[in-house]
Amino acid sequence: MDAIVLLGAPGSGKGTVAEDIRNAVNYQHVSTGDLLRAAIKAGSALGEEAKRYMERGELVPDEVIINIVKELIDSGSRDARYMFDGFPRTFAQAERLDEVLSSYGSSVKYVFLLEVARPVLVRRICGRRICRQCGAVYNIHTKRPSVDGVCDHCGSKDIYQRADDTEETLNNRLDVYERQTAELIDYYDRKKILVRVDAEDRLKTEQAIVAYLA
């Protein structure tokens, strides 16, 4: 088993980068945000609980997140390779991840910190649109579908803005990130596995990570 982590503010591009490089680096992309949204869509009790926090831009409680990830790892293959996106987000989550991995004789190999200036984050997130059918991500400023309102990948016309991608909720999410996630940077820096990546330019970011792992 092997694991790497993509760390960065909402809008730093973790999800897009992970999808783009997963084949090249041979890691499975695990987004806790996507897992939670799937639980909400499925109408599970866990989804109902998570929804209340997500709508306000708050973090879902550590126990809920840790259980989801632990279940995924425990039910996965012994030689799985995970690229976590949006997890861990708190110090407690990071410690529990270390415990789970070490029970399999593994540990986090590298943590890539995607660094982007706050005004860029705001612009990216408020402009983000998603295809409800296939999950493809667009941006009204930088990455519109080639036919307006129609998904390039699946042809669906159901392209929406995430409820927590509005300016109000966003400011809260960015504050939460700075408060709770920043201590993770220290934690991983002390372990000497933190790799800072300039994430203003998506392609350069991806090339940097792929090169680092090669």
Footprint of ligand ADP (CB under 6 A): 10, 32-33, 36, 53-54, 57-60, 65, 86-87, 89, 93, 164, 173
Nearest to residue 132, comparing CAs of 115, 113, 102, 155?
A: 155
| Cβ at position 60, least distance to ligand ADP in Å | 4
**Binds Zn ion by CB under 5 A, chosen from 4, 136, 174, 184:** 136
Q: How far is the CB of 185 from ligand ADP (least distance, A)?
A: 15
Q: Which of 156, 161, 180, 207 binds Zn ion (CB under 5 A)?
A: 156
Between 134 and 182, CB nearer to Zn ion: 134
Beta-strand pair 2-8/137-139: unpaired
- The pattern of x and - marking residues 61 through 100 that bind Zn ion according to CB under 5 A reads ----------------------------------------
Task: Give CA–CA dist 119/13, Å, rounded.
Answer: 14
Name which of 34, 38, 36 is nearest 49 in CA terms.
36
CB under 5 to 8 A by kind: which of ligand ADP, Zn ion, none does 65 bind?
ligand ADP
Q: How far is the CB of 129 from Zn ion (least distance, A)?
A: 11
Backbone angles phi, psi at 210, to 5 degrees: -60, -45
Angle at 113 between CA 95 and CA 29, to 5 degrees: 75
Q: Which of 28, 107, 133, 139 binds Zn ion (CB under 5 A)?
A: 133
Active site members:
14, 89, 128, 162, 173
Instruction: Please give the Cα distance from 103 to 6 (Å, whole number).
Output: 22
Q: Say which entry of ligand ADP, Zn ion, none residue 10 contacts (CB below 5 to 8 A, set by partner kind).
A: ligand ADP
**Shortest approach of ligand ADP to residue 202 CB, angstroms?**
15
Tokens of 179: 């408060």
Please choose which of ligand ADP, Zn ion, none residue 131 contacts, taking the beta carbon within 5 to 8 angstroms, the exact cut-off set by kind: Zn ion
Report the candidate in 38, 182, 16, 165 with the shortest Cα–Cα distance to residue 85. Answer: 16
12: DSSP letter = S
CB 162 within 8 A of CB 125: no
* Contact (CB, 8 A) for 52 and 29: no
> Which residue ranges make up the site for Zn ion (CB under 5 A)?
131, 133-134, 136, 151, 153-154, 156
